[in-house]
Structure 1
Amino acid sequence: MKKKIIYMISMIVLVTVIIVMMILPKREIVSVSLFSDTATITYTDAESLQIIGDAIRTVKKVPGAVDVGPPSYRMTVTYEDSEAVQYSVYMDFQTKNGFLIKDSNSERMLDLRKKNSEELADLLAK
């Protein structure tokens, strides 16, 4: 009896999560601006925004606080509702490994997944 109840509750929760994920719209990025000591880059094309959006959506939060030096880039991501979110981008262009730090939570490192880090490094190196 208990197993059936647990199974039913689990199914209800799973179905609810799936429905909510389908209903909630993804926030669309309309532009990304990156600033460094030597360059300012703004992306508005669909392919570049997709690469950057995928990188942001798939980060892995690293536990603990970080203390790092100056970033490779400062990045402003602007969404369709005009909200702007600021990140620091740390990228090693030789190994194509990188991570982000969101300004609103500057002690938390957001590790880029390997594929996304490589794509972002290639995009920024153009």
Structure 2
Amino acid sequence: MKKISIFSISIILLVILIYVFARPRPDIISVNLVSETNEITYSDSESVQIFEDAIRTVKKVRGSVDVGPPNYQMTVTYADSKVVEYSLYMDFKTKNGFLIKQSNSEKMLDLKDHNSEELADLLSKGNKE
């Protein structure tokens, strides 16, 4: 009887893990950035992939934050018509950045170094054009 219980719990946990890691994630179809001086929309697959990777791999920072105005207000539109808004903070000298989700404005989402560098490079190109 004990073996059946352990087996059942193991199967349930396995199904949950498969669901969490294998569930389809909605694709981003566009990212709109608005700064004090510029507005740009990214919808090409290469740029969208950079944003998608950056958002998917953020590290949540413990505690609350109180920061100044962001470099950009970012609106992310998903294929399932869901829209999520973020404040994007980017230091273009160090290529470090973080996001704050509008729906949870006290939590900072730190961008991983590699993603932050790619995003800073992409935004630098967009500002020159």
**Does TM, scored on the shorter chain, surpass 0.5?**
yes
Provide the C-alpha distance between the structure 2 equivalents of 1:117 and 1:10, rounded to a whole number of angstroms: 38
* Percent of paired sites with the same residue: 66
| Runs of 4+ off more than 3 Å | 5-12
Is 1:121 matched up with 2:98?
A: no
How many residue pairs are counted as aligned between the two chains? 125
Question: What TM-score, normalized to structure 2?
Answer: 0.86
Q: Which amino acid aligns with 1:89?
A: L
Residue 67 of structure 1: aligned partner? 66
User: 5+ residue gaps in structure 2?
Assistant: none
User: 5+ residue gaps in structure 1?
Assistant: none
What secondary structure, in the 3-state scheme, does the structure 2 residue paired with 1:42 have? Answer: strand
Q: Which amino acid aligns with 2:30?
A: S
- The CA RMSD measured in Å over matched residues stands at 2.0
Q: Which amino acid aligns with 1:81?
A: D
Counterparts of 1:1-126 in structure 2, within 5 Å, are 9-10=9-10, 12-22=12-22, 24-126=23-125
| Superposition deviation, residue 15 in structure 1 | 4.9
Provide the C-alpha distance between the structure 2 equivalents of 1:16 and 1:7, rounded to a whole number of angstroms: 14
Question: What TM-score, normalized to structure 1?
Answer: 0.88
